[in-house]
Amino acid sequence: MDRVKIYSTGRCPICEKTKQLLTKWRIAYREVRVDQDRVGLIEMVRLTNGARTVPQIVIDGKWIGSFTELTELHMDKKLDELVNADAD
């Protein structure tokens, strides 16, 4: 199972920035391009209670939010806890 998913589109600069940060922080993720994957779009809308903007980040099936919420979790030192929970 993919622990971290980022729902994105190909024309979203904030999506690119989010992916760059996840890579920088050495957090593996799977990208779901909702502009190319209708099933992925439906999944994103369901998981996020109707969000229509990207990026949207989900960790272990739990909606985290977007770029702002991701960076806040990182600054508050809570992102590592979420990503590393049950990783053994």
Domain containing residue 11: CATH number: 3.40.30.10
Residue numbers of the domain that contains 63: 4-84
pTM of the shown model: 0.89
In terms of DSSP bridges, do strands 4-8 and 30-33 run parallel, antiparallel, or are they unpaired?
Answer: parallel
User: How many domains would you assign to the chain?
Assistant: 1
Q: What does the pLDDT read at residue 1?
A: 54
Give the DSSP per-residue string, the chain: --SEEEEE-TT-HHHHHHHHHHHHTT---EEEETTT-HHHHHHHHHHTTS--SS-EEEETTEEEESHHHHHHHHHTT-HHHHHHTT--
pLDDT at 87: 55
pLDDT in single tens digits along all 88 residues of the chain? 578 999 999 999 999 999 999 999 999 999 999 999 999 999 999 999 999 999 999 999 999 999 999 999 999 989 888 887 665 4
pLDDT for 39 equals 97
